[in-house]
């Protein structure tokens, strides 16, 4: 007989720990920025990198955790998917990209396919023991893996931005963290949440079911990922097509102010469109989860991957 899990406990007071964590973290990050600029102390750089890279992802994961469907999703499981999922995802993606990808026109698509496959695999591995696989819980756990991946990736980009030909640049580090924090909710966390919801929608206690719908979802989020990463190149190509000009080393040669404005507008509009598509997709999955809080019977088609939960 399948073990049943109670719904998560309902608090009698309205609390928003995610909001408190965000504001406290933001104040600490700003204080670190002020002190490091005032003193020039390089030992504060790791603090700045970690606070700036993890603040937004951690905030969103805690916000999502409060909306879980079953009591089977514990803080320990969320922490495990966030940290272990993020580390395993980054390591596996880095290895695969190093060996499989070379500079080419399909580079961004290759990155999307590899990173989304890795995150989906890590998500399935870390949640294989769950007895009840609800769509909403899949969304939350997928977001946790994705945000863990995003936090570590942002830390890497921020650390890389610190080093310039003129020495250490804390300004570039801060700019990188600010930009990636703003766009973080619309990237890895969103894409892996979608995959998690679709994966859990047809899986059971005994099997993960790889359906045609899951494959299409994987290809879809990989395509969103590719457009997201390649939007700068797309904006550059469109700017040259519309205004002319010469390109060298991936940049316009002596661009006019109009070209710069057009390039920036095209890039941000493109990112906004990709983000909107992802949000609408996620919203559709959330609506489905609300209409059917109990997971429907799995589809008969598809490839069943057997799993053996503890105590099963």
Q: Tally the domains of the chain.
A: 1
* Any domain includes 259: yes
pLDDT of 13: 46
* Any domain includes 9: no
* Any domain includes 311: no
* Any domain includes 6: no
pLDDT of 105: 74
**How far is it, in rounded angstroms, from Cα 117 to Cα 129?**
20
- Which residue ranges of the chain lie beneath pLDDT 50? 1-2, 11-14, 295, 297
* Any domain includes 1: no
pLDDT of 194: 97
pLDDT of 308: 63
Domain containing 295 equals: 17-306
* Any domain includes 207: yes
Which pTM was predicted?
A: 0.87
Closest CA to 152 of 90, 98, 61: 90
**How far is it, in rounded angstroms, from Cα 54 to Cα 86?**
11
* Any domain includes 212: yes
Mark out the alpha helices in 72-106 (DSSP H runs). 75-100
* Any domain includes 192: yes
**Residue 215 Rama label (left phi>0; alpha psi -120 to 50; beta):** alpha
């Amino acid at each position: 007989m399948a073990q049943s899990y109670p719904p998560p406990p309902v608090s009698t007071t309205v609390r928003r720990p995610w909001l408190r964590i965000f504001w406290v973290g933001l104040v600490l990050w700003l204080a670190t920025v002020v002190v490091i600029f005032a003193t020039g102390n390089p030992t504060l750089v790791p603090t700045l990198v970690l606070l700036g890279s993890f603040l937004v992802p951690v905030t969103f994961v805690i916000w999502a955790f409060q909306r879980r469907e079953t009591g089977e999703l514990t803080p320990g499981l969320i922490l495990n998917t966030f940290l272990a999922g993020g580390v395993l995802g980054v390591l596996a993606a880095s290895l695969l990209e190093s060996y499989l990808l070379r500079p080419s026109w399909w580079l961004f698509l290759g990155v999307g396919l590899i990173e989304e496959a890795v995150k989906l695999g890590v998500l399935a591995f870390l949640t294989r023991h769950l007895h009840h696989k609800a769509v909403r819980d899949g969304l939350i756990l997928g977001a946790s893996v994705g945000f863990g991946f995003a936090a570590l990736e942002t830390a890497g980009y921020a650390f890389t931005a610190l080093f310039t030909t003129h020495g250490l640049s804390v300004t570039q580090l801060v700019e990188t963290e600010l930009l990636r924090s703003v766009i973080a909710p619309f990237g890895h966390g969103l894409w892996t949440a979608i995959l998690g919801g679709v994966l859990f929608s047809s899986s059971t206690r005994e099997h993960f079911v790889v359906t045609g719908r899951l494959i299409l979802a994987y290809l879809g989020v990989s395509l969103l990922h590719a457009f997201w990463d390649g939007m700068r190149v797309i904006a550059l190509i469109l700017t040259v097509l519309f205004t002319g000009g010469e390109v060298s080393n991936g940049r316009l040669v002596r661009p006019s102010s109009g070209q710069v404005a057009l390039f920036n507008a095209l890039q941000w509009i493109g990112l906004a469109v990709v983000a909107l598509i992802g949000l609408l997709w996620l919203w559709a999955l959330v609506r489905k989860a609300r209409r059917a809080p109990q997971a429907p019977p799995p589809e008969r088609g598809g490839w069943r991957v057997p799993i053996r939960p503890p105590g099963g």
